[in-house]
Structure 1
Amino acid sequence: MRMMLSPSTLLIASLVSLAACSTMPSLPAPPPVPKVAPEQRLAAAIAASKGADDRELAVQPLRDPQVQDLRDAATAAIAARNYGAAADALNQALLIVPDDPAVLQERAEVALLQTDNERAETLAKRAFELGSKVGPLCRRHWATIEQARLARGLAQDAASAHGQIESCTVAGLNRM
């Protein structure tokens, strides 16, 4: 027994066959995020904090001895590549001085080492809001934000943060 197909059925079948053969042009893949070690990201942030002028004013507040001990413990833990212990020490310090821009910045840098890039950016932004808007620590805040954004593949946002780094630099006084 032979089946007869109507002309409209044949037309639909032909169109479906043609549609299956044609493909939509694929969109280009976004450029891959370069693989950069967290330690390299931190080194870049620290390097950005160095001023071109050694006459630049950098305020160093007096520290609570307990907070300083916790910061020292964090520094030792980072040197041992024990980033969890460093984070714990700095978290304890932040319980004592929650609005200390330097401690917030150090905690942001540990978050960067732990590849917790959103937290690194949040902490560095908070440190900037509470701290001086000029000087080495200001540059370090923005460089950390830049590196956190780069790690997340947000190149345009990272470029914006990079632009802020230069605004933190103020020429030092001429002391004769």
Structure 2
Amino acid sequence: MKFRWALPLSLAVVCAACVSAPPAPEPAYDAETAVKAIRQSAAATRELDVQPLRDNRVEDLRQSASALEKQGKYAEAAATLDQALAINAGDPALLQERAETALLLRKLDDAERYAKQAFDGGSKVGPLCRRHWSTIAAVRQHRLDVLKTTPVYKEELPAASANISRIGKDVAAARAQVEACTVSAPPRY
């Protein structure tokens, strides 16, 4: 009878060890501010900006998507841009707009994928190029912020530190690409 309390006490200790702290909340991601900053990155200096002629159907869909986005109907805007991409799948401007809509929907992997496709199929300089790389940098920066706030066990610390370092380099590389997109106009004599 002396050890009647021993079993309940040992179960309480075991159960207390099973309880873990709740995961740290993910850092806030303000998608609207991120998209605004991305679009502002296009307005840098005076430079040549060649715009292709657009199919009228695609242009109508782009304008509809823009109106939907302004109303906060991001999913509908994305669906409208998807319709435009079905008509002209390789249009870098459409792909970039779709990337920005993916950001607004907080689908960061999709946003990075669309921005990379847009860069691969478009001009490697100019305002649109800066938007591509600003999108990629924003996605990578958010990944870095999440990683920095994620708790890890002591034995996972070296791998987590290496991952933080790698993603930090990815962010810096994307930001450097933003700057590389700006090409000054040739001198006029």
CA apart distance, 1:34: 4.3
Which of residues 154, 169, 172 is equivalent to 1:156? Answer: 169
* Structure 1 runs not aligned, ≥5 long: 1-30
The 3 A distance-change label for structure 1 pair 125 and 101 is same
Matched, 1:99 2:90: yes
The 3 A distance-change label for structure 1 pair 166 and 97 is same
Partner Cα distance (2:38, 2:117) in 1: 16
Matches within 5 A, 1:43-122: 43-51=36-44, 53-54=45-46, 56-122=47-113
Residue type of the partner of 2:184? A
Matched residue, 2:18: none
Partner Cα distance (2:34, 2:169) in 1: 17
CA contact (8 A) 1:117 1:152 kept: no
Please identify which structure carries the higher helix content: 2
Partner Cα distance (1:84, 1:71) in 2: 14
Partner Cα distance (1:114, 1:93) in 2: 18
Name the TM-score, length of structure 1 as normaliser: 0.77
Secondary structure of 1:172's match? Answer: coil
Deviation string, structure 1 residues 115-167 (Cα, Å, up to 9, x no partner): 10000000000000000000000010000001111222244322221111111
Matched, 1:35 2:28: yes
Name the TM-score, length of structure 2 as normaliser: 0.71
The 3 A distance-change label for structure 1 pair 157 and 33 is farther
CA contact (8 A) 1:33 1:151 kept: no
Q: Which of structures 1 and 2 has the bigger CA Rg?
A: 1
Partner Cα distance (2:171, 2:35) in 1: 15
Seq. identity, %: 48
CA apart distance, 1:82: 0.3
Matched residue, 2:128: 137
The 3 A distance-change label for structure 1 pair 69 and 35 is same
CA contact (8 A) 1:125 1:145 kept: yes
CA apart distance, 1:46: 1.1
Residue type of the partner of 1:41? A
Matched residue, 1:19: none
CA contact (8 A) 1:105 1:123 kept: yes
Residue type of the partner of 2:114? L
Deviation string, structure 1 residues 35-78 (Cα, Å, up to 9, x no partner): 23100111121122222x22x00011111000000000110011
CA apart distance, 1:106: 0.3
The RMSD of aligned alpha carbons is: 1.8
